[in-house]
Amino acid sequence: MSILETTDVRTGALVRIENVSKQYGSGNNTLLALDRVSLDVQRGEFVCLLGASGCGKSTLLSLVAGLDKITSGTLDIGGRHVALMFQEAALFPWLSVAGNIELPLRLQGVGRAERRQRALELLETVRLGGFGDKRPHELSGGMRQRVALARALAQNADVLLMDEPFGALDAMTRDILHDELERIWREQELTVLFVTHNVREAVRLGDRVILLSSRPGRVIEDFKIGHPRPRRIDSPEVSGQAAEITDRLRAEVARHAH
């Protein structure tokens, strides 16, 4: 543990991924999902993982979340807590909206009154004040994702992992949720690792965009996105950089034609 901690101090990284490979299956029937992927996420950074199908971006997120084991390499999150969001909100239907947000607090042993207070605050944070007593199914898809975000924030995690969280939403809702996520990320000083296949979304949100190749997943390039925030998805800077990254991505996809 102490060695890991000193390593942290040296690099300052919250998540350190070094030469991580992930292989599924055994014998002749193996699939190499990730091939020697290296990447660091600094505290307060917003990092987007971008790639076409089969690039192992969701696999990488599962590994960081501790839901799956790496085959080789080093994955170090220094014993930190992570929270995870998916494309579906995955709220529990037997709990109210507030109950869903309170659940992680309940598991941490936080008292009832404090839990309730914290859930109310988090509902305000995601602009859903007054919806605490609703059932998840009474909300729209975008609202449910905001509840899922509030639940993730309630976990008080050091790193927020997001696996295409806005993939199932319409463009209008997605745009507005980008603004919301950017605001909350700034206000709460979050560290985010965000998986997407949408290039504009990655450039709109990320401090860095990590482009992954497909089958197996390798890091092709690490783009620094320096445009001032708050950004707009339709601004010339975002569009320009997105076009550049899209070209790289298409070249990578075309490679699999043979």
Partner 1 sequence: MPTEVTEEQRNADQVSGLDALELGPQRKKGQLGRRIWSSTWPKLLAIVIVIGIWQLVYLSEWRPAYVFPPPADVLAELGELAITPKFWDGVQLTMTRAITGFAMAVAIGTLIGAAVSRFAPLRAAIGSLITGLQTMPSIMWFPLAILLFQLGEKAILFVVVIGAAPSVANGLISGIDYVPRTWLRVGQVMGMSGLAKYRHLILPASLPSFVSGLKQGWAFSWRSLMAGELLVIVPGTVSIGVRMQTARDLSDAVAVIAYIIVVLVIGILVDQLFNASDNALRKRWGLTGS
Q: Compute how many residues bind partner 1; rule: CB under 8 A.
A: 36
DSSP state of 256: G
Secondary structure of residue 5 in the 3-state scheme: helix
> Whose Cβ is closer to partner 1: residue 6's or residue 108's?
108
> Whose Cβ is closer to partner 1: residue 169's or residue 199's?
169
Could you tell me which residues are beta bridge partners of residue 48? 194, 209
**Interface residue with partner 1, options 67, 221, 229, 244 (CB under 8 A):** 67
Binding to partner 1 by residue 225, rule CB under 8 A?
A: no
> Whose Cβ is closer to partner 1: residue 59's or residue 155's?
155
Binding to partner 1 by residue 83, rule CB under 8 A?
A: yes
Binding to partner 1 by residue 150, rule CB under 8 A?
A: no
Binding to partner 1 by residue 186, rule CB under 8 A?
A: no
Q: Which residues within the stretch 151-180 sit at the binding site for partner 1 (CB under 8 A)?
A: 155, 172-173, 176, 179-180
**Interface residue with partner 1, options 65, 110, 120, 253 (CB under 8 A):** 65
> Whose Cβ is closer to partner 1: residue 145's or residue 241's?
145
Binding to partner 1 by residue 224, rule CB under 8 A?
A: no
Q: How far is CA 50 from CA 47, 54, 138, 226, in A?
A: 10, 11, 32, 17
Which stretches of the chain are DSSP H helices? 2-11, 57-65, 97-107, 112-125, 141-154, 171-188, 199-205, 236-254
**Interface residue with partner 1, options 17, 75, 82, 162 (CB under 8 A):** 82
Q: Write the binding mask 94 to 133 for partner 1: x where contact by CB under 8 A, - elsewhere.
A: x--------xx-xxx------------------xx-----
Binding to partner 1 by residue 143, rule CB under 8 A?
A: yes
Q: Looking only at Cα atoms, what is the longest distance across the chain?
A: 61
- Min CB(30)–partner 1 separation in Å: 23
Q: What angle do CA 51, 204, 185 make, to 5 degrees?
A: 105
Which among 16, 15, 17, 33 is positioned nearest to 25, based on CA atoms? 33
Name the burial class of residue 112, with classes exposed (0-12), middle (13-18) and buried (19+) by CB atoms within 10 angstroms of its CB.
exposed
Task: Return the residue matching tokens 């102490």.
Answer: 2
What tokens does 214 get?
A: 């497909």
Binding to partner 1 by residue 77, rule CB under 8 A?
A: no
Q: How far is CA 86 from CA 46, 91, 146, 160, 168, in A?
A: 17, 10, 12, 11, 10
- Min CB(169)–partner 1 separation in Å: 10
Binding to partner 1 by residue 20, rule CB under 8 A?
A: no
Q: Are 214 and 55 contacting, i.e. CB atoms less than 8 angstroms apart?
A: yes
Residues at the interface with partner 1 (CB under 8 A): 65-67, 81-84, 86, 88, 90, 92-94, 103-104, 106-108, 127-128, 135-143, 155, 172-173, 176, 179-180, 183
